[in-house]
Chains A and B, each alone.
Chain A
């Protein structure tokens, strides 16, 4: 009964370091998403995937890469972290039907110093 699980929950990076955020869902959902949440700006879509092996850019994709090698996993990579990437990152998944809600992970708080 896990739903959507994000790893890690917290991370501090130095500018220029790289890291990967892992999202795993156990609901057999086709669609998966990565959002970032910044104060006063709501959640903004970084990248999303409509199925295994597919990815697409969202509103704010610069500085991030993603991969969906397995249906249940969606990875978000930062190749060279910048302070502007300090944010809370949320992963979500949903079925392919637009009239269904997205299920969100608990979030990852990333600080880049």
Chain B
């Protein structure tokens, strides 16, 4: 069975601080896909990134970066120089070729204080 754990329920930082959101996953499959979604206070789910199990390269997109480590089954998300607009709930999710539906973690609520 698949499982995604986001142990940090809520994180509060001050603007311009760096923050890392943790994601640990479990799957028996060798081929799988990982995703991060953002849910701002308005409620919609916004796709941020996907990564397949064969690509362990880290990725950077502006202030966002992702660190994928198969050895520790983790796919962590770092926001550099956080801004108030980054305040949201962030979800990590997992799927594989067999299941096709996303399994979500419980989410991490990030509050960025001005």
Contact = CB atoms under 8 A, between A and B. Distances in A.
A31 interface: yes
Given A98-B97, A99-B50, A42 B105 contact: yes
Contacts, number: 54
Given A40-B9, A42-B91, A42-B107, A102 B102 contact: yes
Interface residues of A, number: 26
Interface string A12-42: 0000000000000000000101010000111
Interface of B: 4, 6, 9, 33, 35, 37, 43-45, 47, 50, 52, 91, 95-97, 100-107
Q: Across the A-B interface, give the 8 residue pairs with the lowest CB-CB distance, nearest first.
A: A42-B104, A104-B45, A42-B106, A101-B47, A43-B104, A48-B101, A45-B101, A42-B107
